[in-house]
Amino acid sequence: MSDFDVIIVGGGIAGASLGAEIAGKRRTLIIEAEDHCGYHATGRSAAFYLESYGGPEVAKLTAASGPFLTCPPVEFSERGFLRRRGDLHITRDILPELPPGVETRVVEREELERLVPGIRPQWRRALFEPGCADIDVAALHLAYLRAFRRSGGLVSTRARLVLADRTADGWRLQVEDGSALRAPIIVNAAGAWADRVAKACSVVPIGIEPKRRTMVQLRVGHSGLRDLPLVDDADGTFYFKGEDDNTIWLSPHDEIATEPCDAAPEEIDVAMAIDRFESVVDWPVERVERSWAGLRSFAPDRLPVYGFAADAAGFFWCVGQGGFGIQTSPAAAKLSAALLLGEEPDSMIRQIDPAVFLPNRLRI
Ligand SMILES: Cc1cc2nc3c(=O)[nH]c(=O)nc-3n(C[C@H](O)[C@H](O)[C@H](O)COP(=O)(O)OP(=O)(O)OC[C@H]3O[C@@H](n4cnc5c(N)ncnc54)[C@H](O)[C@@H]3O)c2cc1C
């Protein structure tokens, strides 16, 4: 039986970033069911940083993470993870309301035509959010795993938690390969599987719902798209951004409730994405280069959940990161680490009220 202070279940961005924050202070192990960390939601994102996304409380986490993502400490990474492209929230009619403090300006039709040549006439105006950026997700996730290991953290892949019992001296965990582990604290960072992990630990689930989202890489008969702003509609029915000179990443903004699984795109959602795209610009669609899907997982109030369970000593929730788990990861990891270690919050998150994210708000 191996002993640790903390065992984190899940090696996506949530588990890796929290692990990096605590590994220097607690003997920490990440157990990851797949053969590499980042196989699920973390490896499938649309990879953008958008401050207005997810409502005012999530926006605070995103804004707090921005400086770290732009200019991380040199020992963490020698270069930043963001590349600015801006976001055009286009509308036929009424401009969207964004959370307070997000920098924006109104773009009228004439400028819109310059920024998105070939945009169809019904799109009359837009709100431009200049701070929107691409995130180098793979580099960020790797940097967190590297920092975790450098501080003494261990990662065990192909190690699915199947059962855990609470004993007088902590948790005894059983892994699928038959091995047993022991630690006083379990962190549930299992993404779409969060409620299943809770059940395996005899902890009351909090109603985390995985929802499938589809992404399509499209080649189009229009060039000069690499630096195209992210384009989304105020009603939330699509978004696309330039990927290469004449390719884009496109999503129909779908949100299909599903069981936790290795998500794959459905033809109907790919077709819907293309249909919506064609209602925005007149660029000929040449071919689907690839498509993929991933699960975004939400708590009932769509806010993330960070903190110890009220009903099970030593069980820490780090779940419900929805569609913002990458862009919020630096602040979320600092907040979770402060809660887990019982320490003062880092200056990055001093303005953020942790009570908003505690699991007891969901009345467990
Ligand atoms: C299509 C799409 C677009 C997105 N776009 C963006 C974006 O532009 N910006 C942004 O910030 N976010 C975006 N997101 C959201 C972001 O990807 C997620 O919020 C984030 O990756 C969640 O990280 P995680 O570590 O919680 O989950 P995951 O990456 O899914 O990691 C959870 C891990 O737990 C493991 N696990 C599960 N059960 C067990 C078990 N029993 N034992 C051991 N391991 C287990 C899984 O194998 C998995 O690797 C997007 C998501 C999708 C799907």
DSSP 9-58: E--SHHHHHHHHHHTTTS-EEEE-SSSSTT-SGGGG---EE-TTTT-HHH
Query: Which residues 6+ apart lie within 8 Å of 110 measured at CB?
Result: none
Reading across the β-sheet that carries 315-319, which strands appear in turn?
154-156, 28-31, 6-9, 185-188, 315-319, 305-308
In 3D space, the residue among 189, 231, 215 whose CA is nearest the CA of residue 18 turns out to be 189
Q: Could you tell me the pTM of the whole model?
A: 0.98
Say which residues have a Cβ less than 8 Å from residue 217's Cβ, sequence separation at least 6. Answer: 243, 247, 248, 249, 250, 288, 289, 290, 291
**Terminal CA-CA length for the chain:** 31
Looking at the DSSP assignment, which residues form a beta bridge with residue 186?
7, 315
- pLDDT score recorded for residue 19: 98
pLDDT computed for residue 100 by the predictor: 87
Residues of the chain short of pLDDT 50, as ranges, are: none
What lies within 8 Å, CB to CB, of 228 at 6+ separation is 85, 116, 241, 242, 248
How far apart are the CA of 10 and the centre of ligand 1, in A? 9
β-strand pairing of 170-175 with 180-183 = antiparallel
Distance 296 CA to ligand 1 centre (A): 7
Q: Kindly give the distance from the C-alpha atom of residue 295 to the centroid of ligand 1, in angstroms, as a whole number.
A: 7
- Which residue, 127, 116, 131, is CA-closest to 91? 127
Q: Taking the C-alpha atoms of 33, 76, 19 and 25 in order, what is their torsion angle to the nearest 10 degrees?
A: 150
User: Identity (one letter) of the amino acid at 102?
Assistant: V
Residues with CB under 6 A from ligand 1: 9-15, 31-34, 39-42, 44-48, 160-161, 189-193, 197, 213, 215, 294-296, 321-327
pLDDT of res. 2: 64
How many angstroms separate the alpha carbon of residue 245 from the centre of ligand 1?
29
Order of strands, sheet of 2-3, starting from the edge strand that comes earlier in the sequence = 2-3, 180-183, 170-175, 161-167
Query: With contact defined as beta carbons under 8 Å apart, do 362 and 300 qualify?
Result: yes
Rounded to the nearest 10 degrees, what angle do helices 329-341 and 137-150 cross at? 30
Question: What's the confidence (pLDDT) of residue 1?
Answer: 56
Closest CA to 354 of 312, 298, 311, 303: 303
Q: Which of 84, 96, 43, 50 lies closest to 237 in space, CA to CA?
A: 96
Measured from the Cα of 12, ligand 1's closest atom is 25
CA-wise closest residue to 12 among 134, 170, 183, 188: 188
Q: What is the pLDDT of residue 57?
A: 96
- Give the dihedral of Cα atoms 74, 76, 77, 78; nearest 10 deg: 20
